[in-house]
Amino acid sequence: MHTPAPQALLFDLDDTLWPIGPAIAAAEIGWHAWLAERAPAVTDRYTVEQLRALRMALLERQPALVADLYQLRRAALEAAFVETGADPVYVDGAMARFHALRNTVTLFDDVLPALQALGAMLPLGVITNGNADLELIGLHHHFKVAIASHSFGRAKPDPGIFLAACQAMGVAPETAIYVGDDLRLDVQGAQAVGMRAVWMNRHGSSAHRDAGIVPDAICASFDELLVWVRSQMRHNADEPTKGH
């Protein structure tokens, strides 16, 4: 069966371009310290872990908030301010502070050189459920399109967000490749609309076997991704001559 030539390459962000766990952990410690100076009633009542538990409890009650994790964080913080009698004037500042801290990320070492090489071959895009600010991080110029669930209104693996990104890129899903670390949200989500999906599996996990998910490719690094994408481009460049 003929595989159409790739015309666009799209990426997940958190845990694909950078590890998000350390960034969020550091951001939440810094955020708690910021709150302690301005709204000590909140931090006297809630540790970092307890604020996280408050958000998770709210998400259970309002699962639609999964599409907008900032709104989830804000709503939980507002509830904590009300409960403790803290001055709500600091809520906006607290959210701005978290935004700055959350976007202090460290890219995986192989990402930037590969992005530059890939961007010379194909237009690049982003589909994310997170709240990364590509301009603040300094990567926005690499991407033609960036769609985030909080502005789109639906989160991966909803097919709508993948289709909207392809449309914004001006390509059919069959000609787009999606790269992400999450088997269900990224690989299954993309494949469900006809995109090819690359599982970025930096840790040698075999979870795809247990899940019964078959990525179009599995890469342990962006160097491997670059090799695979080049092979896809070469395969399609060579294919028309094979029948002659």
Q: What is the rounded average pLDDT for all residues in the chain?
A: 95
- Report cis status (omega within 30 of 0) of the bond before 19: no
CATH number of the structural domain 8-19+107-241: 3.40.50.1000
User: Is there a shared CATH topology between the 8-19+107-241 domain and the 21-102 domain?
Assistant: no
Mean pLDDT score, 226-241: 79
Mean pLDDT score, 7-33: 97
Q: If you search the block for the tokens 């075999």, which residue do you land on?
A: 206
At 238, the pLDDT band (50, 70, 90 cuts) reads low
Residue 44 CA to residue 243 CA, distance in Å, equals: 73
For domain 21-102, say whether CATH 1.20.120.1600 is its number.
yes
DSSP 22-41: HHHHHHHHHHHHHHHHH-HH
Domain residue limits, the chain: 8-19+107-241, 21-102
**Residue 239 or 63, more confident:** 63
pLDDT tens column, 136-176: 999 999 999 999 999 999 999 999 999 999 999 999 999 99
pLDDT tens column, 72-118: 999 999 999 999 999 999 999 999 999 999 999 999 999 999 999 99
Whether the predicted pLDDT of 11 surpasses 80: yes
At 128, the pLDDT band (50, 70, 90 cuts) reads very high
User: What pLDDT score was predicted for residue 235?
Assistant: 76
